[in-house]
Structure 1
């Protein structure tokens, strides 16, 4: 499982929405191979050098998206990040679009929750709210 502070997830979503409003919409997470899919408010879950979420609004030239690493898989803060990424995300790099409508309503109903947990299986992505 990968965990992210809910406040950070909210910031990533808001940052993407602000970028989209300023720069003409949302980026396609699938490099154009699935046109129109995932081009809405949300974020990308990325497995690369670590596992992180990233804002998805279109960017102005030179602008960078907001990136937040999972607590378990940050290459500069977790010694075993490489093994953890391979075990729970997979060996290959990848990207999954997460629609804001899938997570924000649960944040709004559960004010005591502090972290979003994301669990990947071969066929599914599941979410849980965690209170720490």
Structure 2
């Protein structure tokens, strides 16, 4: 499923992640014991409080739940411009529940499958994709098995 994001908003989210001194871990990163604080590596399943937020790389989270969106992993959170949401998100145009309510769920299901998901996109990968993108959008092809940026 090919989806498009607002390029300027992605650049803004990425800048936030890159300038943050601390970052949040994804669910997958909670399992990475190398990201833990000293003395917090014993259990297999980590908690946010086990992770050293300075060890998390800058990047964006690609999330599929109520639509498909990206957000910064930087702390403190970057609130929405209107202050109504605690974390600014860049929705894929095709899967934005506010702008495309009729199709957002179907697009999300085609891209991520039936389950919700969150994939970490390293800042360097996103920067490279932005350099190769043309126009005011960033395009991705997302399937349950793969994800790739498109030029």
TM-score (norm 2): 0.70
- 2:129–2:150: 8 Å Cα contact kept in structure 1? no
**Aligned counterpart in structure 2 of residue 56 of structure 1, from 53, 56, 73:** 73
Structure 1: unaligned runs, 5 residues or longer = none
Residue equivalent to 2:64: 47
Equivalent pairs, count = 123
Residue equivalent to 1:86: 109
Paired with 1:94 and 1:106, the residues of 2 have a C-alpha distance of 21
**Aligned counterpart in structure 2 of residue 117 of structure 1, from 128, 139, 145:** 139
Structure 2: unaligned runs, 5 residues or longer = 36-54, 80-84
1:95 aligns with 2:93: no
- 1:107–1:113: 8 Å Cα contact kept in structure 2? no
Paired with 2:132 and 2:109, the residues of 1 have a C-alpha distance of 33
Say what the alpha-carbon RMSD is for the aligned residues.
Answer: 2.6
1:26 aligns with 2:23: yes
1:6 aligns with 2:29: no
SS at match of 1:72: helix
Task: Give the superposition deviation at 1:92.
Answer: 0.6
CA 11–33 in structure 1, closer or farther in 2 if over 3 Å, else same: same
Larger Rg: 2
